[in-house]
Amino acid sequence: MVAKEKFRVCPDTGFKVFQHTENLIKANAVVAVVFLLIGGLFGLLVALTRWQAIHLLPADLFYLALTAHGADVLLFWIIFFEVAVLYFAGSVLLNVRIAAPRFAWGAFILMLVGALMANVAVLQGESSVMFTSYVPMQAAPHFYLGLILFAVGALVAMFVFFGTLVVAKQEKTYEGSIPLVTFGGVVAAIIAVYTIASGAIILIPTLLWSLGYIAEIDSVMYKLVWWGMGHSSQQINVAAQVSIWYAIAAMVLGAKPLSEKVSRGAFLLYILFLQLASAHHLLVEPGISSEWKVFNTSYALYLAVLGSMIHGMSIPGAVEAAQRRRGYTQGMFGWLRKAPWGNPAFSGMAMSVLLFGILGGITGVVLGTEQLNLIMHNTLYVPGHFHGTVVAGTTLAFMAITYLVVPLIFRKEIIWPRIAQWQPYLFGLGVAGISVFMMGAGTLGVSRRHWDMTFSDAALNFDVPPAAFLMMGLNGISAVIASIGGVMFILVIVATLLFGKDRAEDACKTNPVILPDGGAVVATSGSEGVLKLPGTIALVSVFFLAFVLYYFVNWKYLSEVWPLS
């Protein structure tokens, strides 16, 4: 056995926090936030360039900024933060030391070096190939190498997490089954392993090709395997973010899952079916049969969508049940009105659930329908959709949990609670705007990844509909609002870490960030007839109706375009 590692007992939660765990969570979370800042800044530049009235950057810098934006926020911010979440879900929640801390630090350094290398490659200007780097367009070798190092580092971090679970099991630091949030973390990590493996499988030959050792890489095959990483990695986010929803509901309201069986079953559906989503990116490609497309794009029979729809019920359901137990039983939505809307962890979580479901989820299913993809592929509808998932969903959820991580792990009191209180609303509003207006522009046919929708330098001419310019202006304004929200987040967090008051040992009584004796207020779950959740039933009914309507409206649009077969 390893020598006993130092730990402290968290006075707020009673969890053991081991020293390595604490430092690793801090390091990964801080680096994540730095990449959020850098990537977010590039995103703002992109939005201000696409706002035709401002048209900020010249073409080459625009494509450079767009490449950097994708890599920094979609890969580096999110995966660094996910590693921090996994160390929390493994080591803290199971009260166990982290397995192989040296490997965990090695993973951190590899990821950091890789991320920096890729950034340098992009900033040098020879690798403006977009985040997707579709062959046969070629980037500098160190662009691919940076991504590979990052991926290998992330893979090592996943195995440290798995190792931590094994240690906890052996040392019997918990009884029965692992907590739901840890379970969600396991799901995220399993998806991460095959995701990262896909990335390595395609990027290693691509690196060799860029160095001249391999003559050719088939462009369709590249997309198939690359999206095995690119899309499936978004499902790591989904699993991590759903776990965070459960965690925040538990910490802030003492909410329990309505049914462990249902929630875990829904997570399992992710593992089994999410990786088929590579097909979403191949729906209008040559050389792939419709049978393959239909089966894969629907995650078999929409079974992964089923998983998300289940969480979409069980999260608000858990919140409603917890609130009703605490006495907020007035009418259908009394529990919702009395929810802690001034707590940024809760409001961020609530908006993440809402925006992810409606802006990200519904549009994702529509976009991923074989024939409907014809009227949306590579238009701005696509980034409109995924800003609804990755930014309004994942990023907002990560921000929300940060408001709990900082007092509990970093032991600092949030320095400007008023700013923190408004931050999720502002960010959520901005991102919702980005998502909606980009989808609007996409519906009008505006292309994504495109510097000039006026085509002023082109040999031929083409006029996009005037409404599209309005959409891009509104998108720019939304991006400014979201940026202000993002900057508020970073300011509050950084200032808190640097200048914030240390959190006192007895702060759990004087200034609780989590509900005292959280779980105890909620009775056992899953007992037939005990729970009446009319509010949740109403909410999911509205969601379902919107889903069905929007789905068929798009078929109507499709039926109006030129027949083709």
Partner 1 sequence: MALTPPENKHWWREPLHRMEIGWITIAFLWGLMMFGVMIYWHINGEQNLSNEAYRVDPETYGEKVEAFAEKYTVRTEGKNDTPVVKPPPGSDVYMLGRLWEWWPILELKKDQTYRLHLSSMDWQHGWSLQPTNINIQVHPKYEMVMTLKPTKSGEFGVVCNEFCGVGHHTMLGKIYVVDK
**Residues 469-508, interacting with partner 1 (CB under 8 A):** none
Backbone angle region of 300, left / alpha / beta, with phi > 0 → left and psi within -120 to 50 → alpha: left
Asked if 29 touches partner 1 (CB under 8 A), the answer is no
Closer residue to partner 1 (CB): 212 or 563: 563
Q: What are phi and psi of 7, to 5 degrees?
A: -145, 165
Chain residues 230-249 in contact with partner 1, contact rule CB under 8 A = 246-247, 249
The CA dihedral of 266, 272, 274, 278, to the nearest 10 degrees, is -170
Closer residue to partner 1 (CB): 47 or 112: 47
Chain residues 142-171 in contact with partner 1, contact rule CB under 8 A = none
CB of 512 to partner 1, least distance (A): 15
**How many other CB atoms are found less than 10 A from the CB of residue 487?**
17
CB of 47 to partner 1, least distance (A): 16
**Alpha carbon distances (Å) from 128 to 65, 68, 322, 323, 455:** 8, 8, 49, 50, 20
Helix (H) or strand (E) holding 180: helix 180-210
CB of 454 to partner 1, least distance (A): 9
**How many other CB atoms are found less than 10 A from the CB of residue 461?**
8
Asked if 466 touches partner 1 (CB under 8 A), the answer is no
Asked if 377 touches partner 1 (CB under 8 A), the answer is yes
SS3 letters across 233-295:
HHHHHHHHHHHHHHHHHHHHHCCCCCCHHHHHHHHHHHHHHHHHHHHHHCCCCCCCCHHHHHH
User: What SS3 class is residue 14?
Assistant: coil
Q: What are phi and psi of 9, to 5 degrees?
A: -100, 125
Helix (H) or strand (E) holding 127: none
Binding-site member from 111, 180, 207, 359 for partner 1 (CB under 8 A): 180
Binding-site member from 164, 449, 492, 500 for partner 1 (CB under 8 A): 449
Binding-site member from 17, 75, 100, 255 for partner 1 (CB under 8 A): 255
Asked if 285 touches partner 1 (CB under 8 A), the answer is yes
CB of 305 to partner 1, least distance (A): 6
CB of 124 to partner 1, least distance (A): 15
Binding-site member from 6, 54, 109, 136 for partner 1 (CB under 8 A): 136
**Which residue intervals of 326-388 are DSSP H helices?**
334-337, 344-355, 363-367, 381-386
Asked if 286 touches partner 1 (CB under 8 A), the answer is yes
Binding-site member from 33, 45, 240, 250 for partner 1 (CB under 8 A): 250
CA–CA–CA angle 424, 426, 429 (5° rounding): 100
Closer residue to partner 1 (CB): 498 or 517: 517
CB of 98 to partner 1, least distance (A): 18
CB of 103 to partner 1, least distance (A): 26
- Total binding residues toward partner 1, as defined by CB under 8 A: 115
Asked if 206 touches partner 1 (CB under 8 A), the answer is no
Closer residue to partner 1 (CB): 70 or 430: 70
d(CA 507, CA 11): 8
Asked if 122 touches partner 1 (CB under 8 A), the answer is no
d(CA 512, CA 489): 21
d(CA 235, CA 153): 19
Q: Interhelix angle for 19-50 vs 396-408, to 10°?
A: 150
Place of tokens 């923190």: 420
What is the pattern of x (binds partner 1, CB under 8 A) and - over residues 61-90?
--x---------------------------
Asked if 185 touches partner 1 (CB under 8 A), the answer is no
Binding-site member from 74, 354, 522, 539 for partner 1 (CB under 8 A): 522
CB of 406 to partner 1, least distance (A): 17
d(CA 347, CA 427): 11
Helix (H) or strand (E) holding 428: helix 417-443
Asked if 464 touches partner 1 (CB under 8 A), the answer is yes
Piece in contact with partner 1 (CB under 8 A), picked from 127-135, 229-237, 407-415, 480-488: 127-135
Place of tokens 């509104």: 474
Asked if 559 touches partner 1 (CB under 8 A), the answer is yes
d(CA 82, CA 383): 22
Piece in contact with partner 1 (CB under 8 A), picked from 40-48, 354-362, 411-419, 517-525: 517-525
Asked if 325 touches partner 1 (CB under 8 A), the answer is no
Chain residues 86-105 in contact with partner 1, contact rule CB under 8 A = 93
Asked if 369 touches partner 1 (CB under 8 A), the answer is yes
| Amino acid making up residue 214 | I
CB of 375 to partner 1, least distance (A): 5
Half-sphere exposure of 462 (CA within 13 A, CB side): 10
Asked if 269 touches partner 1 (CB under 8 A), the answer is no
Closer residue to partner 1 (CB): 155 or 453: 453
d(CA 346, CA 534): 21
CB of 60 to partner 1, least distance (A): 5
Token pair, residue 271, equals: 């593992």
Q: Interhelix angle for 396-408 vs 78-87, to 10°?
A: 40
Asked if 298 touches partner 1 (CB under 8 A), the answer is yes
